[in-house]
Amino acid sequence: MRFYSTNKKVPSVSFKEAVIKGLPDDNGLFMPEIIPHFSDEFLRKLPQLTFQEIAFESAKLIIEDEISENELLSIIEGAFNFDVPLRNVHDNIHVLELFHGPTLAFKDFGARFMARVMGHFLKSDAKEINILVATSGDTGSAVAQGFLGVEGIKVTLLYPKGKVSKIQEQQLTTLGQNVTALEVGGTFDDCQHLVKTAFLDQELNKKLNLSSANSINIARLLPQSFYYTYAHSKLSDTSGNTYFCVPSGNLGNLCGGLLAKKMGVPIAGFIAASNANNIVPEFFRTLEFSPRASVQTISNAMDVGNPSNFSRLLDIYDHDYQRIIADIKGISFNDDQTRALITEVYEQHNYLMCPHTAIGYGGLKHFLNPGDSGIFISTAHPCKFIDVVEPLISEKIEIPLRLQKIIKQEKQAISMTKEFANFKSFLLENN
Ligand SMILES: *Cc1c(COP(=O)(O)O)cnc(C)c1O
């Protein structure tokens, strides 16, 4: 399989090149030239397959022979060594819990797969790789966890000062080893801008082997399709249509679902749900894409003003806007509505959700018809947003042991302004 840039100004590359480079030179995003289709036989036997088996088959169709079957199998077994439960919340509404990995958020799927794929490709290369990650909260810790201690790889995390939760900050700043955290005086978009500018900077690229690991790397996108295929196949009542509702920020998660559908999984449609940063729902309503500065909300991992995977979404539909709005609906919830959803579902159905997940529930409930089945994606464990969630339910949330340990460790972060010149000299001095 070859991978092209969505800006179409550079030649296509192999999977290895796409993964190592992260971002094409023309500032587009890598996409597979062909989105392959599952065989009918595979689709028929889906309900009997494990998550790992589905992941293997899906990955093989896209990566083809660039990674041997044995290697691919061990990458998948290493990356997805945790549960992916699909639970019924009430009636025809189900939740797919993607927070059972080490950082308790769905970013573990993409980050752990990508880290192992990169590790595999770099085994034979001598030159050290510098991975730059802008994070609005969860990306950074998932990526850093995935790469922790991997030889030949250095990770630099950029997060917006004061705009991530206390627990997220602890997860970002206590890893040590080959991971450095930069606390940037600015927004997530400023962090993302610094990283994008670094990739376009000739001097940096000449001196450092830069690679990206945020949601724009193709190796993070692919595994985000596996769990849609898996969840769809595990629904017991398949008499009606099945819809997924995805709490959306940069649209990486949603694009994973769109890939699964295009590969042949009979998903009827999607709902993209956002917070007050409603650029994406506005697009599905009006077909106008108007990026703008992000605002801060209680679902901060979705505080995105310029969703970076938007061009992938357009390419998946060959820029056919009518097909896009036939498949995807958009909706947004403000912070008060989000809090009300958390309380409502906890009181009525005894199910506790993080603020992002609550937005997913709200979107599904709004659009789902009685005869159909719906799955909303739970993107993080509620305890990661304890300051928001605990006051709403007036009960103590139990924090998993692995998180309790991290909370007690000392924060280690370097302060950084949002000026590119400062970031650049930091990178040059520290590598
Ligand atoms: C990253 C993240 C999202 C948004 O996912 P995108 O792929 O950026 O759309 C939602 N919820 C949580 C908890 C996240 O970490």
Q: Whose CA is nearest to atom 1 of ligand 1?
A: 301
User: Looking at the domain assignment, is residue 294 inside a domain?
Assistant: yes
Kindly give the distance from the C-alpha atom of residue 385 to the centroid of ligand 1, in angstroms, as a whole number.
14
Check pocket membership of 356 for ligand 1, CB cut-off 6 A: yes
Check pocket membership of 302 for ligand 1, CB cut-off 6 A: yes
- Say whether pLDDT at 422 is over 90: yes
Check pocket membership of 294 for ligand 1, CB cut-off 6 A: no
User: Looking at the domain assignment, is residue 6 inside a domain?
Assistant: no
Check pocket membership of 105 for ligand 1, CB cut-off 6 A: yes
pLDDT at 203: 95
Q: Whose CA is nearest to atom 8 of ligand 1?
A: 250
Residue 64, burial from CB neighbour count under 10 angstroms (0-12, 13-18, 19+) = middle
Mean pLDDT, rounded, for 401-429: 94
CATH number (domain holding residue 242):
3.40.50.1100
- Per-residue pLDDT of 270-311, as tens digits, reads 999 999 999 999 999 889 999 999 999 999 889 999 998 999
Residue 41, burial from CB neighbour count under 10 angstroms (0-12, 13-18, 19+) = exposed
Question: Residue 394 has which token pair?
Answer: 């007036």
- Say whether pLDDT at 205 is over 70: yes
- Say whether pLDDT at 23 is over 90: no
Question: Residue 393 has which token pair?
Answer: 């339910």
User: Looking at the domain assignment, is residue 76 inside a domain?
Assistant: no
**Strand pairing class (129-134; 153-160):** parallel
Q: Has 16 been annotated as catalytic?
A: no
- The highest-confidence range among 74-78, 281-285, 374-378, by mean pLDDT, is 374-378
User: Looking at the domain assignment, is residue 327 inside a domain?
Assistant: yes
User: Looking at the domain assignment, is residue 369 inside a domain?
Assistant: yes
Give me the domain span that covers residue 248: 84-105+220-399
- Say whether pLDDT at 238 is over 90: no
pLDDT at 72: 97
- Say whether pLDDT at 214 is over 70: no
Q: Directed axis angle between helix 223-234 and helix 51-63, to 10°? A: 140
Q: Residue holding tokens 């995390």?
A: 157
pLDDT at 148: 86
pLDDT at 11: 97
User: Looking at the domain assignment, is residue 298 inside a domain?
Assistant: yes
For the chain, what is the HEC assignment? CCEEECCCCCCCECHHHHHHHCCCCCCCCEEECCCCCCCHHHHHHHHHCCHHHHHHHHHHHHHHHHCCHHHHHHHHHHHCCCCCCEEEEECCEEEEECCCCCCCECHHHHHHHHHHHHHHHHCCCCCCEEEEEECCCHHHHHHHHHHCCCCCEEEEEEEECCCCCHHHHHHHHCCCCCEEEEEECCCHHHHHHHHHHHHHCHHHHHHCCEEECCCCCHHHHCHHHHHHHHHHHHCCCCCCCEEEEEECCCCHHHHHHHHHHHCCCCCCEEEEEECCCCHHHHHHHHCCCCCCCCCCCCCHHHCCCCCCCHHHHHHHCCCCHHHHHHHEEEEECCHHHHHHHHHHHHHHHCCCCCHHHHHHHHHHHHHCCCCCEEEEEECECHHHHHHHHHHHHCCCCCCCHHHHHHHHCCCCCEEECCCHHHHHHHHHHCC
pLDDT at 110: 94
Kindly give the distance from the C-alpha atom of residue 215 to the centroid of ligand 1, in angstroms, as a whole number.
9
Check pocket membership of 280 for ligand 1, CB cut-off 6 A: no
Catalytic residue among 16, 107, 196, 329: 107
Q: Whose CA is nearest to atom 15 of ligand 1?
A: 138
Kindly give the distance from the C-alpha atom of residue 302 to the centroid of ligand 1, in angstroms, as a whole number.
6
Check pocket membership of 365 for ligand 1, CB cut-off 6 A: no
Domain total in the chain: 1
Kindly report the pTM of this predicted structure: 0.89
pLDDT at 391: 95
Kindly give the distance from the C-alpha atom of residue 115 to the centroid of ligand 1, in angstroms, as a whole number.
18
Check pocket membership of 381 for ligand 1, CB cut-off 6 A: no
pLDDT at 215: 65
Q: Whose CA is nearest to atom 2 of ligand 1?
A: 301
By residue count, the chain amounts to: 431
User: In ligand 1, which atom is closest to the CA atom of 246?
Assistant: 9
Kindly give the distance from the C-alpha atom of residue 301 to the centroid of ligand 1, in angstroms, as a whole number.
5
- Say whether pLDDT at 167 is over 90: no
User: Looking at the domain assignment, is residue 46 inside a domain?
Assistant: no
User: Looking at the domain assignment, is residue 310 inside a domain?
Assistant: yes
Check pocket membership of 108 for ligand 1, CB cut-off 6 A: no
